[in-house]
Structure 1
Amino acid sequence: MSGPGQRVLALLRQMIAEGSLAAGERIAEIPTAERLGVSRMPVRMAFRVLEQEGLLIRHGARGYAVRQLGEEELAGAVEVRGVLEGLAARQAAERGVSAEVRAVLLECLERGDRLFEKGYLCEEDLASYHDLNLRFHQTLVEASGNPAIAAALARNDHLPFASVSALVVDREHLEREYRRFNFAHLQHHAAVDAVLAGQGARAEGIMREHANATLRYARLFGTEEGDSVGRTVIQRGSQKPG
């Protein structure tokens, strides 16, 4: 797919993930192209890819509708991510990491420490956390030395909220979100400690729990399920919560 096509595809994925294109909403080539300010061709190609990814379903001869994704399906996608990232952590621990990888992981921890040491989060911190979190997860996967893990994660990441790059943030309750992200950062510390110590089983368990904790944070930190006030999705392009 061309550069413009990739940009349209990434944008439509993001719009589905954040709810700008709601579940069940009907979409068609011409109005979507006009909305995005592009020609019909990249939209047509993007629709076909999104249908293959399970995010769109056919509706009529030419149209599509945004697929309704159930809670169990989303939970399954996050669980798969946990299994894959757990495997990556175990293999990284067992094979050992290079000095360069070690430096990157420690840098991510140090950046997170500085971010959370003040005891609260502000709007400006959200982008910083996204970047360091993304780099941490990508580095850990690359450290496994197993490209099949990255390939499997890339396929799984197409489901909304299964990707590390999609973080749901309740901006009305940043104090609670501070506790959630700080908890995730502490899990990063534990995972790096296990990887550098060569403790494969421990590293795997931590990363599996790390992914699954994103499903349970509402219960862990008292968030009311279904409360979407002030909640948005932070997602950058097609890069890869956690």
Structure 2
Amino acid sequence: MSKPGQLVLIALRKMIASGELAAGERLMEIPTAELFGVSRMPVRMAFRTLEQEGLLVRFGGRGFQVRSVSANDIAGAVEVRGVLEGLAARLTAERGLSPEGRAALELCLLQGDELFDKGFVTEDDLEAYHDLNMRFHQVIIEGSHNPAIADALARNDHLPFASVTALAVDRKDMAREYRRFNYAHMQHHSVFDALVNGQGARAEAMMREHANATLRYAEIFSSAVASERMRVILRAD
């Protein structure tokens, strides 16, 4: 996906998580493109990705509608991902990382260190983290040599905020986002240490805990439902 598409995707995902876009709201390409100052193509790609993630549903052949999602929906999907990725980490630790897998994980850790060592992050940094985070998780899943795990994760990824790619960023509080993502990166280091030392139970526990970082979306969602904040409505003229 293009950079404009990524920016629109992350922004809309955050608006849905925070409740700015309420369940049932209609989203149309043209007003959304005008809101973000982009062409219709990035918006179209973002809509399709959010549909795959279970956050949008098609509305009568024209545009999309925000799906009704509860904090329990998010928590349940994240719990399943934690179990599956934890199993993958345990199997990978017990089987042993391949030289290629170890090198790939070490590169992810090095790139992450470079992002966070300066003490702050930009939106470009978090886009880069999104990519290296995907690679880190994928190497572990492949290292398990259990295709059923990947298949089960692919099905679970269609649930709201369940996918490891479902990155929502609060641009108004980048200091907090730095702390959140830096903590997740430190967890990557701990998972890697368990993997290279063949500590299956520890690797499994760390990956399950790592998935819980996503539960912040559930907390945001609960807060949004409880409050009567102003909602941003995108609809056709």
Q: Same fold (TM over 0.5)?
A: yes
1:172 match: 172
Deviation of 1:98 after TM superposition, in Å, equals: 0.6
Query: 2: CA distance between counterparts of 1:204 and 1:116?
Result: 25
Deviation of 1:26 after TM superposition, in Å, equals: 5.2
User: Normalising to structure 2: TM-score of the pair?
Assistant: 0.70
1:142 match: 142
> After TM superposition, where is structure 1 displaced by more than 2 Å over at least 4 residues in a row?
14-23, 25-28, 53-59, 61-67, 216-219, 224-227
1:100 match: 100
Instruction: Report the secondary structure of 1:172's partner residue.
Output: coil
Residue-by-residue CA offset, 1:37-90 (whole Å, 9 max, x unaligned): 7xxxxxxxx8xxx69x6953887x999854301110111001111111101000
Structure 2: unaligned runs, 5 residues or longer: 29-38, 42-47, 230-237
Which residue identity does 2:180 align to in structure 1?
Answer: R
Higher RCO (CA 8 Å, separation ≥ 6 residues): 2
Kept in 2: contact 1:16–1:66 (CA 8 A): no
Instruction: Report the secondary structure of 1:158's partner residue.
Output: coil
Q: Residues 63 and 201 (structure 1 numbering): CA distance in 2 closer, same or farther, change over 3 Å?
A: same
Query: 2: CA distance between counterparts of 1:165 and 1:102?
Result: 22
Name the structure with the higher strand share. 1
Matched, 1:80 2:80: yes
Deviation of 1:212 after TM superposition, in Å, equals: 1.0
Deviation of 1:91 after TM superposition, in Å, equals: 0.5
Structure 1: unaligned runs, 5 residues or longer: 1-9, 29-34, 38-45, 230-242
User: Normalising to structure 1: TM-score of the pair?
Assistant: 0.69
Q: Residues 207 and 176 (structure 1 numbering): CA distance in 2 closer, same or farther, change over 3 Å?
A: same
Query: 2: CA distance between counterparts of 1:136 and 1:104?
Result: 8
Residue-by-residue CA offset, 1:116-139 (whole Å, 9 max, x unaligned): 111111222111111111111111
Equivalences for 1:1-242 in 2 at 5 Å? 17=13, 23-25=23-25, 56=57, 65-216=65-216, 225-226=223-224
Query: 2: CA distance between counterparts of 1:179 and 1:218?
Result: 18
Which residue identity does 2:164 align to in structure 1?
Answer: V
Which residue identity does 1:56 align to in structure 2?
Answer: V
Query: 2: CA distance between counterparts of 1:78 and 1:218?
Result: 10
What is the aligned length? 205
